A and B are shown apart, each in its own frame.
Chain A
Amino acid sequence: MTWSQMQPLLEQASWETLIMVGWSTLIAVVLGLPLGVLLVLTDRGGLLQNVLVNKVIGQVVNIGRSMPFIILMVALMSFTRWVTGTTIGSEAAIVPLAIGGIPFFARLVETAVREVDGGLVEAVQSMGGNTWTVVRKVLVPEALPSLIASTTTTVIALIGYSAMAGTVGGGGLGDLAVRYGYQRFEPGFMWITVALLAVAISLIQFAGDYAARTLHRRGGRGGAGPRLRLLKTKEPAAADVSKVA
């Protein structure tokens, strides 16, 4: 196959992957975030302690996490048809991808939110804040760097899942690699898709890490523009210390 033959196929597939991963990530984050926060709040000693609710959500999340994605996809077929009207194509693949992503992200959110210092929660309570205030002003903003890292992990996991979704008619880069690279014996095609995926994942990881680090550094030491600062003064930390005393 020549490059001119491959190019439109690659473009189409990349676009499909982007759509599938983009939407499913969005849904996973929007629904997984409250679920993860709820897991922390309803836990023993939490602000909304409720053992029953906690157990139920925990179980649902565990089942979702432990189910192999390909089985989840098949199991959800009738639900997918009910939502999108079809079980094939990228749109249909978004449904199982999102549902697989929700518990995955929820667990990561739970871990991130648990890391937030309980003293901060207490401080907001002492100011007269209610549980919603605690979630909005403390738990989420303080866990933000970790939440961004969790989102990165989720996106990358969903790219992996999307390749599987591809094999049952979801389209996307994974599908392309299997159909052309494997079934049609076009190793060139295979390697190009692999390289594309590798580059995409590296870029996402890099961007996610950078965002998390920048936010964290703000809390850590540097201030809003760590790079600029480094250019201006050699040792901003030392300068601060001398002022402090």
Chain B
Amino acid sequence: MAHRHRENRAAFRGLREPEEQRPVPGAHHRAAHSTVTETHVITTSGLTKVYRSRGREVTALDGVDLHVREGEVYGVIGQSGAGKSSLIRCVNLLERPTAGTVTVAGQDLTALAGRGPRAGRELRQARSRIGMVFQHFNLLSSRTVQDNVELPLEILGKSGKERSRKALELLDLVGLADKAKAYPAQLSGGQKQRVGIARALAGDPKVLLSDEATSALDPETTRSILQLLRDLNRQLGLTVLLITHEMDVVKSVCDSAALMDRGRIVESGTVGELLATPGSELAAALFPVGGEASGDDRTVLDVTFHGEAATQPVISQLSRTYNIDISILGAAIDTVGGLQVGRMRIELPGRYEDNVVPVGFLREQGLQIDVVDERPDEPAALAPLVKEGAK
């Protein structure tokens, strides 16, 4: 699905087409207009959040170290209860971490927090430079769309003229210039989220936090909102940290991803790295291939190819070189996080011990080989997510 986005992009009003280059099959075409730098703009270290209620303690975050690079879209995925929401709310200190530090754009927010539950002046100023969008939009029903977008500017103390200029500009950016005088209740879910995004951008933030922003939307609207986030990321160099329980979200917009389970980050890295990590749960979930072995003494391999390797006729080479019959159980080529990736599940005759040499040959060709041994279909942490992604 993700590859469809390129064609859709021009459809969004007010968003100029970035200089599009014809993507070379298999090449990392993302690099062409990537804004990612190596500077970490959001860093959490040892972030821990323990909720105490009626004498019981619940650990929502258990020593989370997160590094989000400037200009990237970073997705945190996990089941509900994994701690994603606590994590994102700790980043702008809507939730006070029990231990650990949060640094955003070089500023240690945990140091600004102070002791009391109320946010001090400095923390509030820092928050105004971090945009946030919410699952349920959180627009004020008593205000028009334009007034909603002006709200953060009112808090920043901008003049009326400046507020309305900026608000209209932002509404134009998200394609809702004609809805400025409407009330939120008159908008569809997708339009409401666009208003939410425009509002989040009003303070010219470097960082946008997205708390399940698409989870209340239908798949089509989800795609258009994700596309908008992607475009804003590219055009404004905006760093986006998003949390989601939908694998498709990570697949279509994220440069990097982390998998959370029971308050810990289980896996993390750029999408490319994850796909290149043998046995990565995230990679398998991002790009599943199916197919069952046809008999007992067969070797089933998952072959992942991206980059140069994708253009080589490796399978027929393998077949000719070793004179073996190869069955293809499943195969797909997809764009994952802007990378073209192919994955194929093949079956070789004989047990793994008999196929060490052919497997070595494939690895030499620069392919990533995962041997599929009767493992359960999906790893435990991700099983429900994958099901949802498949819908």
Contacts and interface: CB of A to CB of B under 8 A. Distances in A.
B141 A219 contact: yes
B151 interface: yes
Interface string B97-139: 0000000000000000000011100001111101010101011
Contacts of B191: 244
B143 A141 contact: yes
Interface in A122-150: 122-131, 133, 137-138, 141-142, 144
A244 B192 CA distance: 11
A168 B76 CA distance: 70
A8 interface: no
B94 interface: yes
Contacts of A141: 140, 142-143
B118 A47 contact: yes
Contact of A123 (B124, B126, B130, B138): B138
Contact of B152 (A48, A127, A144, A215): A127
B117 A49 contact: yes
Contact of B140 (A47, A142, A220, A241): A142
A126 B132 contact: yes
B186 A223 contact: yes
Interface string B146-188: 0000011011100000000000000000000000001111111
B142 A218 contact: yes
Interface in A186-221: 215, 218-221
Contacts of B156: 128
Nearest to A241: B188
Contacts of B139: 120
B138 A117 contact: yes
A47 B140 CA distance: 19
A142 B128 contact: no
A119 interface: yes
Nearest to A48: B118
B203 interface: yes
A226 to B, nearest CB: 12
B183 to A, nearest CB: 6
A127 B203 CA distance: 8
B9 to A, nearest CB: 20
B209 to A, nearest CB: 8
A245 B218 CA distance: 12
Contacts of B142: 141-142, 144, 215, 218-219
Contacts of B130: 126
Contacts of A119: 134, 136, 138
Nearest to B184: A219
A240 interface: yes
Contact of B134 (A123, A133, A218, A223): A123
A241 B188 CA distance: 8
A126 B124 contact: no
Contacts of A241: 188
B52 to A, nearest CB: 13
A20 to B, nearest CB: 32
B92 interface: yes
Interface in A37-67: 47-49
Nearest to A217: B185
Contact of A128 (B134, B152, B186): B152
Interface string A231-245: 000000000110011
A67 to B, nearest CB: 35
A124 B143 CA distance: 14
A128 B124 contact: yes
Contacts of B188: 241, 244-245
Given A124-B151, A142-B140, A219 B185 contact: yes
A127 B94 CA distance: 11
B125 A240 contact: no
A133 B185 CA distance: 23
A125 B94 contact: yes
A131 B186 contact: no
Interface in A7-50: 47-49
Given A128-B124, A129-B155, A221 B94 contact: no
Contacts of A131: 118
Given A125-B127, A219-B141, A245-B188, 18 more contacts: A47-B118, A120-B138, A122-B134, A124-B151, A124-B155, A125-B94, A126-B94, A126-B209, A127-B152, A127-B202, A127-B203, A130-B124, A141-B140, A142-B142, A220-B185, A221-B185, A240-B186, A241-B188
8 contacts: A119-B136, A120-B140, A128-B125, A128-B126, A128-B156, A131-B118, A133-B155, A219-B185
Interface of B: 92, 94, 117-119, 124-128, 130, 132, 134, 136, 138-143, 151-152, 154-156, 182-188, 191, 199, 202-203, 209
Interface of A: 47-49, 117, 119-120, 122-131, 133, 137-138, 141-142, 144, 215, 218-221, 223, 240-241, 244-245
